[in-house]
């Protein structure tokens, strides 16, 4: 596989995957396909944009004709699909956009890939369609429940997770019906550099920096399982090359945190780095109305990936959060840029009345 499309490569996780592939595989041609929504930012890829094995194409994944043409022109043999609407709160406000991009967009890519690959003499030989999904499709756990495994039945609750579940089913259906070589992975919450500051960790770092309130949903007792984004990118590389067709792999670092405990670690880290007294920013914590349908707990069992492909997370959480906080504080221009204009209006509207 040499000609690879990475969709959503201008987003948070996608930019780490693009960077890894462009630097690690000089012989591959890496095409970053992205519509550049509010969440897509080419500044995330400044360091690799001039590399000869990298190309950016601005395209909507729902544009079937354009994608089919790109497959033909670029002789695409691998697709790593990350483009999506990814924020649960936005999906609650605007579920249509999530169905359009996450469901119809994924189906459009699948259908174009099918038509192109089936037209080749070698057919699906050496081809791969890899869909990056989330653990949120499995639903919500109670504190004493077992972790999500690859056998856990799907039970999505938010419009976001419902759209991702639907797209996962379409991907598997293309394997089962047409024999397309597909893989799906379901990963836990990612954190690290270049994440759009609407998600918990970068939002709170940014708000602490501006001494703005930290809106904690409900009692702050919901639990998430956090993985450093570069560890996810390494898993994607490994699975794309070594994973078994038609399989599902869970990706996670066995790293569960109650939101309020994580928030206190963030506050402590930011205050220390900024030279504030310990506890200085604790007064910013503001309990607000809970997110509707807020899943209580996500926790992923990634034993299969560790056992079969030897993947392990490389960073301890304390180290990862330190790196992350430092990155945002060292890249204030990036934060200021992405939090201006439309985003600011969205944010103000989002929290009015909470």
Backbone angles phi, psi at 217, to 5 degrees: -75, 135
Residue 119: CB minimum distance to ligand TYD, A: 38
| SS3 letters across 22-42 | HHHCCCCEEEEEECCCCCCCH
48 belongs to the binding site for ligand NAD (CB under 6 A)? no
User: Two tokens at 242?
Assistant: 């070594």
Among 13, 61, 88, 99, binds ligand TYD (CB under 6 A): 88
CB 101 to ligand TYD: min, Å: 16
What is the Cα–Cα distance from 221 to 262, expressed in whole angstroms?
Answer: 10
Angle, CA of 118, 123 and 127, to the nearest 5°: 105
Q: Is 259 in the site for ligand TYD (CB under 6 A)?
A: yes
Check if 237 is active-site: no
- Identify what 34 binds: ligand TYD, ligand NAD, none; CB under 5 to 8 Å per kind: ligand NAD
Partner that binds at residue 79, options ligand TYD, ligand NAD, none, CB closer than 5 to 8 Å by kind: none
- 77, interface contact from ligand TYD, ligand NAD, none, CB < 5-8 Å by kind: none
50 counts as catalytic: no
Catalytic residue among 34, 77, 85, 136: 136
Residue 158 lies near ligand NAD (rule: CB under 6 A): no
Total residues in contact with ligand TYD, by rule CB under 6 A: 12
Q: Which of 208, 216, 299, 335 binds ligand TYD (CB under 6 A)?
A: 216
> Would you give the DSSP letter of residue 153?
P
Instruction: Considering only residues 287 through 316, tell me which ones interact with ligand TYD, judged by CB under 6 A.
Output: 291
Alpha carbon distance 59, 177 (integer Å): 27
Binding segment toward ligand TYD, per CB under 6 A, in 6-14, 27-35, 41-49, 209-217: 209-217
**Binding residue for ligand NAD (CB under 6 A) from 4, 5, 6, 13?**
13
Contact call for residues 143 and 196 (beta carbons, < 8 A): no
The vertex-334 CA angle with 330 and 340, nearest 5°, equals 135
Distance CA 312, CA 316 (A): 11
Q: Does residue 192 interact with ligand NAD by CB under 6 A?
A: no
Tell me if 199 contacts ligand TYD by CB under 6 A. Answer: yes
Q: Do 327 and 192 contact (CB within 8 A), yes or no?
A: yes
Residue 252 engages ligand NAD in binding (rule: CB under 6 A) = no
CA 340, 98, 41, 68 dihedral sign is: negative
| Interactions with ligand NAD, residue window 112-141 (CB under 6 A) | 132-134
Site for ligand NAD in 84-113 (CB under 6 A): 84-86, 101, 105
Cα–Cα distance measured from residue 270 to residue 322, given in angstroms and rounded to the nearest whole number: 9
Among 20, 203, 325, 335, binds ligand TYD (CB under 6 A): 203
Strands 256-258, 223-228: pairing kind: antiparallel
CA dihedral sign of residues 274, 275, 279, 281:
negative
Question: What are the Cα distances from residue 117, in Å, to 71, 77, 125, 215?
Answer: 9, 8, 9, 48
Q: What is the largest CA-CA distance in the chain?
A: 67
| Neighbouring C-alpha atoms within 13 Å toward the C-beta of 304 | 18
Is 136 annotated as catalytic?
yes
User: Which range of residues in 148-156, 214-222, 273-281, 314-322 is near ligand TYD by CB under 6 A?
Assistant: 214-222
- Catalytic amino acids? 135-136, 160
Q: Which residues bind ligand NAD (CB under 6 A)?
A: 8, 10-14, 34-37, 39-40, 60-62, 82-86, 101, 105, 132-134, 164, 187, 189-190, 196
Q: Which residues bind ligand TYD (CB under 6 A)?
A: 88, 189, 199-200, 203, 215-217, 222, 224, 259, 291
């Amino acid at each position: 596989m040499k000609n690879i499309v990475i969709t959503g490569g201008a987003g948070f996780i996608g930019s780490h995957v693009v960077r890894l592939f462009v630097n690690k595989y000089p012989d591959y041609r890496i095409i970053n396909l992205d519509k550049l929504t509010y969440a897509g930012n080419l500044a995330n890829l400044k360091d690799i944009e001039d590399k000869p094995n990298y190309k950016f194409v601005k395209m909507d994944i729902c544009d079937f004709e354009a994608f089919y043409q790109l497959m033909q022109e670029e002789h695409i043999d691998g697709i790593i699909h990350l483009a999506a609407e990814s924020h649960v709160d936005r999906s609650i406000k605007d579920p249509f956009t999530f169905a359009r991009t996450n469901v119809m967009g994924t189906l459009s890519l699948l259908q174009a890939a099918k038509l192109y690959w089936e037209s080749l003499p070698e057919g699906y030989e050496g081809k791969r369609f890899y869909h990056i999904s989330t653990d949120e499709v499995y639903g919500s756990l109670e504190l004493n429940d077992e972790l999500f495994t690859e056998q856990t039945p799907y039970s999505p609750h938010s419009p976001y997770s419902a759209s991702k579940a639907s797209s996962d089913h379409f991907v598997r259906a293309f394997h089962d019906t047409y024999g397309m070589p597909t893989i799906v992975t379901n990963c836990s919450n990612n954190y690290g550099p270049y994440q759009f500051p609407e998600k918990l960790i970068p939002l709170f770092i940014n708000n602490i920096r501006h001494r703005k309130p930290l809106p904690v949903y409900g009692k702050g007792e919901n639990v998430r399982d956090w993985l450093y984004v570069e560890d996810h990118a390494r898993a994607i590389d490994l699975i794309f090359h070594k994973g078994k067709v038609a399989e599902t792999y869970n990706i996670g670092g066995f790293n569960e945190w109650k939101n309020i405990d994580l928030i206190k670690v963030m506050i402590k880290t930011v205050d220390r780095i900024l030279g504030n007294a310990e506890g200085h920013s604790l007064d910013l914590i503001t309990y607000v109305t809970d997110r509707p349908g807020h899943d209580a707990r996500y926790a992923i069992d990634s034993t299969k990936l560790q056992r079969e492909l030897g993947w392990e997370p490389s960073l301890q959480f304390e180290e990862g959060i330190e790196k992350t906080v430092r990155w945002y504080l060292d890249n204030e221009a990036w934060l200021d840029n992405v939090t201006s204009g439309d985003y600011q209006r969205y944010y103000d509207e989002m929290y009015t009345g909470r």
